[in-house]
Amino acid sequence: MRLLVIEDETRIAAAIKRALELHNYAVDTVGDADGGLAAAIDPDYDLIILDRMLPGSMDGAVVCRKVRAADVHTPILMLTARGEVDDKVAGLQAGADDYVVKPFSMKELVVRVQVLLRRPPLSLGTVIKLADLEVNIERFEVKRAGQDIVLSAREFKLLTYLIYNRGQTLSKDKIISHVWDGDALILPNTVEVYIGYLRKKIDKAFPGKVPLIQTVRGFGYRLGSSD
């Protein structure tokens, strides 16, 4: 998985990068708000660590708000200064998923990252809608055009991953790393098989409706209601 760290204090950024790389995450760092925003809307990142105070034309909370305004729901972990309660509130209101107060231990940071990577993005809410598809991530319920759809646990996990990242093309490798936790025994062919199961239940069962699962030949899959 690939993580983005937006932090201007190079010593802290380097320490975070080192700690996360030890846990097998790929990490890119950016040291200012504008460069950070440009990188953050790249769908390739699985999580963003965002410092509240940054050089550039905006602060971390504004970066966060702009990322969400671009309909990007990548989990964001905000770094805030000690005791600045307003900072935490501003960060969460801007659409961050969690925050860590400086100074923090790398151990704590890694745990927060692991938790966030397993949790649905807060910014999407409990019931996620795409066209006439509705996914209730707390009650494990899926509906299309008001009709209940029964999915296996793995199909549900695959669908939630696709809907969290709707509109983005997701490679089979990326899907394996999220939906099968990177299990080395899972082959790309398994992803095709499960996409086939989902397609049958979500698209083929509704012949009059726009297909939502799109194959992007040579790249992967995308969930969306249009091109």
Q: Which of residues 34-63 bind Ca ion (CB under 5 A)?
A: 51, 53
Candidates 3, 8, 116, 174; binder of Ca ion (CB under 5 A) is 8
7-15, 37-45, 89-97, 147-155 -> range binding Ca ion (CB under 5 A): 7-15
Nearer to Ca ion, 52 or 166 (CB): 52
Tell me the residue nearest to Ca ion as measured from the CB: 53
14 binds Ca ion per the rule CB under 5 A: no
Give min distance, CB of 3 to Ca ion, in A.
18
Give min distance, CB of 51 to Ca ion, in A.
4
Give min distance, CB of 161 to Ca ion, in A.
32
Give min distance, CB of 100 to Ca ion, in A.
13
Give min distance, CB of 8 to Ca ion, in A.
5
The count of chain residues that interact with Ca ion, using the rule CB under 5 A, is: 3
The phi and psi torsions of 97 (rounded to 5 degrees) equal -90, -25
Nearer to Ca ion, 8 or 97 (CB): 8
Residues making contact with Ca ion (CB under 5 A)? 8, 51, 53
